[in-house]
Amino acid sequence: MDKPEFLVCMHTIDNFWFACTRLTKKQTGDVKRNEFQGISPEKGQVYTNNNNNTHADAAATATATATDVPSSGKIVTPNLKMFTLQELKQTTKNFRPDSMLGEGGFGRVFKGWVDEKTYGPSKAGTGIAVAVKKSNPDSPQGLEEWQAEVKFLGKFSHPNLVKLIGYCWEDKQFLLVYEYMQKGSLENHLFRRGAEPLPWNIRLKIAIDAAKGLTFLHSSEKSVIYRDFKASNILLDREYNAKLSDFGLAKFGPINGNSHITTRVMGTYGYAAPEYIATGHLYVKSDVYGFGVVLLEMLTGLRALDQDRPTGEVNLVEWAVASLENKKRLKKIMDPRLNNKYPMEAAIQAAMIIKQCLQSVPKNRPSMDKILETLEQVNAIQENPKKKSRSTKTKPNNTQKQQQDHHHRSPLHYKHNGTREARPGHY
């Protein structure tokens, strides 16, 4: 990471955020605690809790505004461990910089070690590895996102959602402790300089796993809209099993026959659906749009947004959408790091899925379970062995070449503006 450029980027966004907060919409989509209960979607699990001390109770006591945040708090839950700050300091060697895994809008993420039974701190390399996410001090976003994360991940359990082990709220700091995902984020694998290219079958597996995670959320009784589907929120374990992380922006979906909920426009520019940016109307199908963008990133190896690309190519969707329906054009935008090693028929079908996901009218986008079904069919398409041996190295097109040269200056850092406010009007 080239530090000075990063700082310039943050500065730009801070200015922008101040300009656009005035455009945000009033949030009206919250639901009450008992609407969490009695959900039993396939495979996943929803914890219910009938005693009085639930996550949502804590959220209720902590509807504190940024100026009125209690310095510490407690959430009684059978599913999550409440860590002390001291324990988490021990776990991460006092949040030592060399144990940092990454940084996002909420704060920094550190690797630590805990005992596998008690989850008490353990020596590095013993017990199980965890990822500890620590809020930026005084971040007005911190408490809200922290509550939402605990609220959702404390309730939902599914193989394609990252496991939340526990949390800590002390000294005005909010921390979250997750299972450690050995292979980091999809974003790093697709775009980090020097990253080993992901082969086609792994990309498809990741897409299928992520689709399973979204299907689970959407099909729960009170559907959950994830709202922040993007490559950095898809984490990979040792076997490239993909799990969704970051539920800080998740919302319960429409109820009483309504088609959408209305919320303040939040999310990440480049992935957020156009109707949501324009109106604040959030549909279950808004997640489907984000899914299409990530699938397009996986096919092309290009970021959803990159200000370093030539004008007209900055926004991947705008630039690539016309190539999705034409085999010749599609070939040209496929990630050269795939080295032509993919079944063309599978790429064509994946491109069709993307095209449908990116429909501007939400109801014209397919449902996640339909997408999952189609992706599994795509996965069954094997490369023609004759063609496999003939595959040659493709020359990167200009855009792809440029991204490889400059991806460290990626505008994806736009999302790290402390608020993750989407940018209305840019579409």
Ligand X SMILES: Nc1ncnc2c1ncn2[C@@H]1O[C@H](COP(=O)(O)OP(=O)(O)OP(=O)(O)O)[C@@H](O)[C@H]1O
Tell me which residues are annotated as active site. Answer: 228
How far apart are alpha carbons 210 and 229 in whole angstroms?
Answer: 9
Of the two residues 91 and 268, which places its CB atom closer to Mg ion in the complex?
Answer: 268
Two structure tokens written together for 236: 């990979």
Of the ranges 27-35, 176-184, 333-341, 383-391, which one interacts with ligand X (CB under 6 A)? 176-184
How far apart are alpha carbons 231 and 285 in whole angstroms?
Answer: 18
Q: Which does 235 bind (CB under 5 to 8 A by kind): Mg ion, ligand X, none?
A: ligand X
Of the ranges 18-26, 63-71, 173-181, 334-342, which one interacts with ligand X (CB under 6 A)? 173-181
Q: Is residue 289 at the binding interface for ligand X, with CB under 6 A as the rule?
A: no
Q: Which amino acid is at 21?
A: T
Element (H, E) at 370: helix 368-380
How far apart are alpha carbons 221 and 176 in whole angstroms?
Answer: 26
| Min dist. Cβ of residue 26 to Mg ion (A) | 26
Q: Is residue 184 at the binding interface for ligand X, with CB under 6 A as the rule?
A: yes
Contacting Mg ion (CB under 5 A), which of 233, 263, 268, 300? Answer: 233
Cβ–Cβ < 8 Å for 195, 87: no
Query: Which of the 8 DSSP states describes residue 113?
Result: E
Q: Which does 201 bind (CB under 5 to 8 A by kind): ligand X, Mg ion, none?
A: none
Q: Which does 213 bind (CB under 5 to 8 A by kind): ligand X, Mg ion, none?
A: none
Q: Which does 184 bind (CB under 5 to 8 A by kind): Mg ion, ligand X, none?
A: ligand X
Of the two residues 188 and 241, which places its CB atom closer to ligand X in the complex?
Answer: 188
172 is in an annotated binding site: no
Q: Which amino acid is at 349?
A: Q
DSSP for 38-99, written as a single string: T---SS-EE----SS--HHHHHHHT---GGG--S------SSSEE--HHHHHHHTTTT-GGG
Of the two residues 184 and 213, which places its CB atom closer to ligand X in the complex?
Answer: 184
Question: Tokens 């109801």 label which residue?
Answer: 363
Q: Is residue 246 at the binding interface for Mg ion, with CB under 5 A as the rule?
A: yes
Cα torsion through 168, 171, 172, 173, rounded to 10: -40
3-state secondary structure of 135: strand
3-state secondary structure of 175: strand
User: Which residue's C-beta sits nearest to ligand X?
Assistant: 104
Cβ–Cβ < 8 Å for 230, 271: yes
56 closest CA partner among 219, 298, 262, 222: 222
How far apart are alpha carbons 383 and 301 in whole angstroms?
Answer: 20
| Angle CA 203–207–211, to nearest 5 | 170
Of the two residues 238 and 363, which places its CB atom closer to ligand X in the complex?
Answer: 238
Q: Which does 415 bind (CB under 5 to 8 A by kind): ligand X, Mg ion, none?
A: ligand X
Q: Is residue 167 at the binding interface for ligand X, with CB under 6 A as the rule?
A: no
Q: Which does 411 bind (CB under 5 to 8 A by kind): ligand X, Mg ion, none?
A: none
Encoded one letter per residue, x for contact with ligand X by CB under 6 A and - for no contact, window 208-247 reads ------------------------xx-x---------xx-
Of the two residues 210 and 330, which places its CB atom closer to Mg ion in the complex?
Answer: 210
Of the two residues 102 and 197, which places its CB atom closer to ligand X in the complex?
Answer: 102
Q: Is residue 75 at the binding interface for ligand X, with CB under 6 A as the rule?
A: no
For ligand X, the binding residues (CB under 6 A) are: 101-106, 109, 131, 133, 162, 178, 180-181, 184-185, 187-188, 232-233, 235, 245-246, 268, 415, 420
- Which residue ranges are tagged as binding site? 134
- Which residue ranges are tagged as binding site for ATP? 134
